Amino acid sequence: MGPLVPDIISGEFSYLIALIMGIGFGFALEQAGFSSTKKLVGLFYGYDFTVIKVFFTAGVTAMIGILFLSHTGLINIEYVFVNPFFVRSAIVGGIIMGLGFIIGGFCPGTSVCAAAIGKVDAMAFIGGSIIGIFLFMEVFPLIENFYLADAQGSPTIAEALNISRTTWAVILTVIALGAFVAITYIQQKVTGVEAKWDKTTILQAVKWASIPMIILLIIIITPSRDDYVMAKLEKRAATGECVPKLIDSDKLAYELINNYYNYNLIDVRSKEEFDKSHIPTAINIPLEELDDLEYRPLFRQRIKTNIFYGSSLNQASRACLLARFHGDNHGLALKENMNEFYELFYLQKPLGDNPTKQELTIKLFREDAARQLQEIETALSEMSKPIEKKVRVVQGGCS
């Protein structure tokens, strides 16, 4: 599952990937004509619309592609870098860049392309950019506050408008297609060349435009891989079809007392329930969060056995099955729920008049176990927690 860096592909190898991607980038840009400064500024003087055609097409293609990959579970969109938004510096920086574009006739990426094929003005532009960046670094202390003002985090447009990613994709695609049609008419007016709107051209245009729309339609209609999998799991758990391996409380207590370091005891109830009381040595991962990516290593490791318990056997079973789906074949679910466990060990009822030897043994075991479990809990609370929550963020943007 993507992104492949840094787990599947190492950081160093990703530099080689950068080189290869850059070659593709530079090739496509130069083929499109972005090495010609007159073509670039043509957009702003209305005589050449190559920039907007290439830009919009590339952006929409990539957007739909990434959405599709996320929908089919091939990429995890949470790990993808989203540019941060600082309102003031984004707007002012953009306007300055716009001015630089009009005066200089390039942007950094295109200037490199043009310089690569020998354009001297592009080389001058690059020289100028180095100076410009140098100036920025020098005056940074003066503008630091402005640079950091109005931080909005790293929101996506879908989040900001409170719509789904797919909805935004459809909107942007429609805008792009509309823009392309409008451009064809504008180009006709500016250059005086009659645009060929005969049947074959229209059919061709519709054919190409329908490709992204069909992909979007597929994304809208079919359930995402995550939804599909979770639904299947829930259904099987509900019918009792899929049964996890069970462990009973006495065995759990025995294992915890003697071999607690061999187990990850996971309480899948809510945080409030966990804080009120939990089985000693347990960590808390609420069931809704169990599917989060940061906990996957928990299911794949083979060093400790995972034992799940909750407020009901059903809850523990669902957790255990989810773990099994993610590769945990040795996980166990506790037969008793938290309340039952608590009753067995901490709310011992006095025995009747003629207790059997077995009843006596069990009672003594449980009393002793309760005491020992408490000792372990106290000792462990001094140590660091066994599992650490760690979210990896990909570096991107300008660095």
* Range 195-254, binding other proteins (CB under 8 A): 208
Among 10, 72, 73, 143, binds other proteins (CB under 8 A): 143
Stretch that binds other proteins, among 147-155, 283-291, 295-303, 369-377 (CB under 8 A): 147-155
Instruction: Using the minimum distance from each CB to other proteins, give the nearer residue, 327 or 397.
Output: 397
Amino acid identity of residue 341, one-letter, is F
351 is a contact residue toward other proteins (CB under 8 A): no
Instruction: Using the minimum distance from each CB to other proteins, give the nearer residue, 119 or 278.
Output: 119
Taking the complex as a whole, the smallest distance from the CB of residue 289 to other proteins amounts, in Å, to: 22
Radius of gyration of the chain (CA): 31
Taking the complex as a whole, the smallest distance from the CB of residue 44 to other proteins amounts, in Å, to: 4
Contacts (CB under 8 A) with other proteins, residues 24-43: 24-33, 35-39, 41
324 is a contact residue toward other proteins (CB under 8 A): no
Instruction: Using the minimum distance from each CB to other proteins, give the nearer residue, 53 or 318.
Output: 53
Residue holding tokens 């787990």?
7
Instruction: Using the minimum distance from each CB to other proteins, give the nearer residue, 63 or 387.
Output: 63
CA-closest candidate to residue 343, choices 370, 319, 316: 370
Taking the complex as a whole, the smallest distance from the CB of residue 103 to other proteins amounts, in Å, to: 4
Helix (H) or strand (E) holding 323: helix 313-325
CA dihedral 54, 55, 57, 62 (to 10 degrees): 130
Among 10, 71, 72, 135, binds other proteins (CB under 8 A): 135
CA-closest candidate to residue 317, choices 326, 308, 305, 330: 308
Taking the complex as a whole, the smallest distance from the CB of residue 313 to other proteins amounts, in Å, to: 39
Q: Omega of the bond prior to 3 within 30 degrees of 0, cis?
A: yes
What does the alpha-carbon distance between residue 178 and residue 64 come to, in Å, rounded to a whole number? 17
Contacts (CB under 8 A) with other proteins, residues 159-188: 159-160, 165, 168-169, 172, 180
Do 299 and 331 meet the contact criterion of CB atoms below 8 Å apart?
A: yes
Taking the complex as a whole, the smallest distance from the CB of residue 390 to other proteins amounts, in Å, to: 16
Among 10, 149, 155, 385, binds other proteins (CB under 8 A): 155
Q: At what angle do helices 11-32 and 50-71 cross, to 10 degrees?
A: 140
181-to-202, 205, 215 alpha-carbon distances in Å = 11, 10, 21
Contacts (CB under 8 A) with other proteins, residues 108-127: 108-109, 111-122, 124-127
Stretch that binds other proteins, among 152-160, 190-198, 279-287, 353-361 (CB under 8 A): 152-160
CA atoms within 13 A on the CB side of 231: 6
379 is a contact residue toward other proteins (CB under 8 A): no
What does the alpha-carbon distance between residue 329 and residue 300 come to, in Å, rounded to a whole number? 9
346 is a contact residue toward other proteins (CB under 8 A): no
Burial call 138-156: b when 16+ CB within 10 Å, e when fewer: eeeeeeeeeeeeeeeeeee
84 is a contact residue toward other proteins (CB under 8 A): yes
286 is a contact residue toward other proteins (CB under 8 A): no
Stretch that binds other proteins, among 3-11, 253-261, 304-312, 347-355 (CB under 8 A): 3-11
Among 10, 83, 361, 374, binds other proteins (CB under 8 A): 83
Is the four-CA dihedral 275, 280, 283, 287 of positive or negative sign? negative
Helix (H) or strand (E) holding 210: helix 199-221
Helix (H) or strand (E) holding 116: helix 108-116
- By CB under 8 A, how many residues form the interface with other proteins? 134
36-to-43, 95, 213 alpha-carbon distances in Å = 12, 22, 32
Taking the complex as a whole, the smallest distance from the CB of residue 322 to other proteins amounts, in Å, to: 25
Taking the complex as a whole, the smallest distance from the CB of residue 133 to other proteins amounts, in Å, to: 4
Instruction: Using the minimum distance from each CB to other proteins, give the nearer residue, 106 or 263.
Output: 106
71 is a contact residue toward other proteins (CB under 8 A): no
